A and B are shown apart, each in its own frame.
Chain A
């Protein structure tokens, strides 16, 4: 089995367990405060970490390349309330243009 298949199966099962825990197991019990707080804040930490590493990391090396221009273009597009698909396309276009000019 490829790594991707292993990740797909484990993440699929784990995610399903998270989704189904409430409807299948808990009869409307209230979660401990720290879990709800973690669920509220964890996405911000992880998504920002993903933005940072997918912009600056190449394996375990840090680098500044045309991806940063794409990210800046995406931020401007988001600031101007562009729809999601446009944000992604703009980031790709800015990066591609920067590379073709380099």
Chain B
């Protein structure tokens, strides 16, 4: 059996050139759109005192934007390890849903599924699920996932290395304001929906209300109860 067939890695032969070009173009534009966010992450992480290895480690091993930002923001604020990890995991619950959505498209040997699971992110899921046939979806997932992974990590390094740190850099250049701005940017598309908006306002209100009485980061975990504001009425 040819290697490509065993690994199910290379569905080139079934994805036509038009679909291939379309998918690659989408993957590159999505990866490029995501990379400024990684530059910002690299800058904020290194300004928050993470080493270069730790900063890149987040982008390689965690590899989900909002959870990376949340964990580093909570740590920078002196938050507990448990608060940083649990907030990140709650934000990443959607990865579970994406992984399940992609099950039919990720068939292959166990090691292959184990490897490509790391590429299950918002972008690769989006690129894959808009395609109509399995081969195109597989290709979309792989090309999208790899493109974002490579650019995401390179951009993280650019942010960590090029943005100056130390002293009063954070205050002087307003770098601390980039964190709420980044989170608002992630939240923004969700605010178009009235249920999501209700949950968001409840979440913000709860976090503010409990902040004076809880250790840093815990307020964010408690804000999860705001999902009750999204119950169907």
Question: Which A positions have Cβ atoms within 8 angstroms of B?
Answer: 2-12, 14-16, 18-24, 26-31, 35-57, 59-62, 66-67, 69-71, 73-75, 78, 83-85, 87-88, 90-99
Contacts and interface: CB of A to CB of B under 8 A. Distances in A.
Nearest to A46: B91
A96 B183 CA distance: 19
A67 B95 CA distance: 31
B42 to A, nearest CB: 12
B97 A31 contact: yes
Contacts of A67: 176-177, 180
16 contacts: A8-B61, A11-B67, A18-B92, A18-B96, A18-B99, A20-B117, A20-B120, A28-B104, A31-B96, A41-B230, A43-B66, A47-B66, A47-B200, A50-B69, A52-B208, A66-B177
Contacts of A16: 61, 117-118
A44 B208 contact: no
Interface of B: 33, 36-37, 39-40, 49-51, 54, 57-58, 61-64, 66-67, 69-73, 75, 77-78, 81, 84-85, 87-104, 106, 110, 113-114, 116-118, 120-121, 171-188, 190, 195-197, 199-208, 211-216, 219-220, 223-227, 230
Given A4-B54, A78-B184, 20 more contacts: A2-B54, A3-B84, A8-B54, A26-B100, A38-B93, A39-B93, A39-B94, A43-B186, A44-B190, A48-B204, A50-B179, A54-B179, A56-B211, A60-B211, A66-B177, A78-B188, A84-B185, A90-B181, A95-B176, A98-B174
B40 A88 contact: yes
Q: Which of A15, A74, A84, A93 has the most CB atoms of chain B within a 10 A radius of its CB?
A: A15
Contacts of A15: 62-64, 67, 88-89, 92, 95
A49 B207 contact: yes
A63 to B, nearest CB: 10
A75 to B, nearest CB: 6
Contacts of A71: 177, 180-181, 184
Given A48-B200, A67-B180, A8 B206 contact: no
Contacts of B67: 11, 15
A38 to B, nearest CB: 6
A7 B204 contact: no
Contacts of A55: 180
Contact of B216 (A36, A60, A69): A60
Nearest to B215: A60
Given A51-B204, A53-B219, A24 B100 contact: no
B75 A7 contact: yes
B57 to A, nearest CB: 5
Contact of B185 (A9, A46, A52, A87): A87
Q: Which of A23, A30, A61, A94 has the most CB atoms of chain B within a 10 A radius of its CB?
A: A23
